[in-house]
A and B are shown apart, each in its own frame.
Chain A
Amino acid sequence: MQMPSPKSRRWGDSLFRGLTFLAALGMIGLVMVIAVQLIRGSQLAFTHFGLGFVTGSRWDPVHGAFGSLPLVYGTIVSSLIALLIAVPLSLGIAIYLAELAPHWVRTPVSFLVELLAAIPSVVYGLWGVFVLVPLVRTALEPFLQRTLGWLPFFQGTYYGFGMLAAGIILAIMIIPTISAVSREVLLAVPNSQREAMLALGATRWETIKMAVLPYGRSGILGAVILGLGRAIGETMAVTMVIGNRPQISPSVFELAQTIASIIANEFSEAFDELHLSALVMAGLVLFVVTLLLNILARLLVWRVARAPEGVTRE
């Protein structure tokens, strides 16, 4: 093989370098295209409604009313229900896997939890419609009404579909995210912290409670926010079980609608310009919120587990 002359070699190097550079620029360009496209698409709705878009409480495409408050409400409440269920469970998993589990248990159980993340959203939705929703209707909702029915949250008809089912399915879907990141954070806590506590005569739980968890606090918060971001943007499974009715009701038994689910439901059938634009604007709101949550979460997680790549890898 003949050696290439230094000149042509330099030429090849700059070409290669330039190509990879372009690809990298493309990534930034892509996010900009996404932002510009969303802003441009929502222009019409914005000039029509202004801030009333966010404060309006009626979403009725037939009559040209596009107030997104019910969607925002549905998104926030379903995500909060999800967090309420998922955070304690995920912390339990993270603590178990990082601190307690014997070695031979760790790998298979971590694998199973990751498997939970690999199942497509639409399959969760299918399972939700045919397994979870009937279960919620026949068992969970009657039970909640019997025991906590005096609260405004647990009143009304049992549909099965609705806010509660959406919250539960979201919880299942964000458990892998929160538990995996928290586990990484706990593993990054230096052993000296644990040893110091144990040497003072603390039990294992006291060690975890007083030394390990406080040390990883901001990282765990980051994990929770990352999970929240996922819950807010999750579309298919929610669309299939939430009942798709944009309304604000204190009861979690009621049908509801989220930003993501209304886009999935109405976008392809929105023939009216204004309707389409309103949906894109809802998308813009979703984009901005998830963007901010993600940035916040990354910053928090980075602070604990220095190397950012260590967080996502096992």
Chain B
Amino acid sequence: MIAGRDQRRKFSNKLMLVLAAAATVLALLPLGSILLYVATKGLLALNWDFFTQLPKPVGEPGGGLANAIVGTLILVGLASVMGIPLGIMTGIYLAEFGRGRLAWLVRFTCDVMTGIPSIIVGIVVYGTIVVAMKRFSAIAGGVALAIIMLPLVTRTTEEMLKLVPNSLREASLALGASQWRTTYSIVLRSAMGGIITGSLLAVARVAGETAPLLFTALSSRYWHTGLDQRIASLPVYIYTYATTPYEEMHRLAWGAALVLVAMVLVTSIAARLAGRRAGGGR
């Protein structure tokens, strides 16, 4: 009787442990499938034209997505120029000065902002910038992406600055440095690795964003002609091409997906390496 119960306990123990491991394997299957498809189908689409040519009109074979690659780089660049400095400043405020109710509110806002659907940001930027400029533009797209980056950069900056030991701050202040000098040359510098990691991860995150670009940067079949003009991007092209019935466009969509995933993964890995080097060297 007792032996039987023990047997059952042992069995359910084994069973559940195996199930937990199986769940992990099962969840990783789609990852494998996605990476495999993107790599194989994407590689078939990539050639010299893909990186140098403009997209062809519907029905014509060939062509490339060079403008979308450049466009994505421009949009991400714009977003970084706006989002990263602001995010770092806010992070500094939270880590170095932020106390009391306001800091709590900022921190909370920040956390909540990471959960806001990115399409909402698209609507809002449309309602403010696009309506005011009376046209879709690279600027509007960049602002939308920057808004998504902002809370990510802020939180990592704050966390990284908090890891800097207080003795460093005290030493600097004791030597007569002013507070901004201390923060800038001592605290920020020793946390640099972590901040770079966080910023690069934020860049990787927004590079693939599509929803906020749909009604801000829109898309374009041509090279970009100015920041106040609509601009092509890889994610939007993947979306529009995947939802057309044309073989040729599907092929290009897979190519674009491969380039985009490669960009995102390389940035993410670079982020980790940057963090490790700066963290371990000291």
A89 to B155, CA, bound (A): 29
Count class of interface residues, chain B: 35 or more
Tell whether, in the assembled complex, residue A112 and residue B28 are in contact, meaning their CB atoms are under 8 Å apart: yes
Can you show 27 pairs from A to B with CB atoms below 8 A apart?
A: A16-B179, A17-B180, A27-B151, A28-B105, A31-B109, A37-B128, A90-B23, A90-B27, A99-B20, A100-B20, A112-B28, A112-B31, A118-B268, A120-B208, A120-B264, A122-B208, A122-B257, A126-B254, A131-B37, A205-B12, A233-B116, A235-B119, A260-B117, A264-B119, A264-B214, A267-B126, A290-B117
A139 at the interface (CB under 8 A from B): no
Is there a chain A Cβ closer than 8 Å to B75's Cβ?
A: no
Q: Does B273 contact A (CB under 8 A)?
A: no
- Which residue numbers of B lie inside 8 Å of A, CB to CB? 9-10, 12-13, 16-17, 19-24, 26-28, 30-31, 33-34, 37-38, 41, 86, 89-90, 92-94, 96-98, 102-103, 105-113, 115-124, 126-128, 147, 150-151, 154-155, 158-159, 162, 176, 178-181, 183-184, 204-205, 207-211, 214-215, 218, 235, 238-239, 242-243, 250, 253-254, 257, 260-261, 264-265, 268
Whole-angstrom distance between the alpha carbons of A10 and B179 in the complex?
A: 9
Which residues of chain B are near A104, meaning CB under 8 Å?
A: none
- The residue of chain A having its C-beta at the shortest distance from the C-beta of B105 within the complex is A28
Task: Say yes or no: A119-B159 contact (C-beta < 8 A), given A90-B27, A291-B116, A298-B112.
Answer: no
Of B10, B122, B205, B211, most A-chain CB atoms within 10 Å: B211
Which of the residues B159, B242, B254 comes within 8 Å of A125, measured between beta carbons? B242
Taking CB atoms, residues of chain B closer than 8 Å to A209 are 16
B132 to chain A, nearest CB (A): 12
A118 with B124: CB separation less than 8 A: no
Known contacts A9-B178, A12-B178, A28-B109; is-contact A130 B117 (Cβ 8 Å): no
Bound-complex Cα distance A261 to B215 (A): 13
Per-residue CB contact flags for chain A residues 288-314 toward chain B (1 = under 8 Å, else 0) read 001101110110000000001100110
B21 lies within 8 A of A100 (CB):
yes
Q: Taking the complex as formed, is A164 at the interface, i.e. its CB lies under 8 A from any CB of chain B?
A: no
Cβ 8 A contact of A28, one of B106, B159, B184? B106
Q: Could you tell me the distance in whole angstroms from the C-beta of B36 to the nearest C-beta in chain A? A: 10
Whether A38 contacts B110 by the Cβ 8 Å rule is no
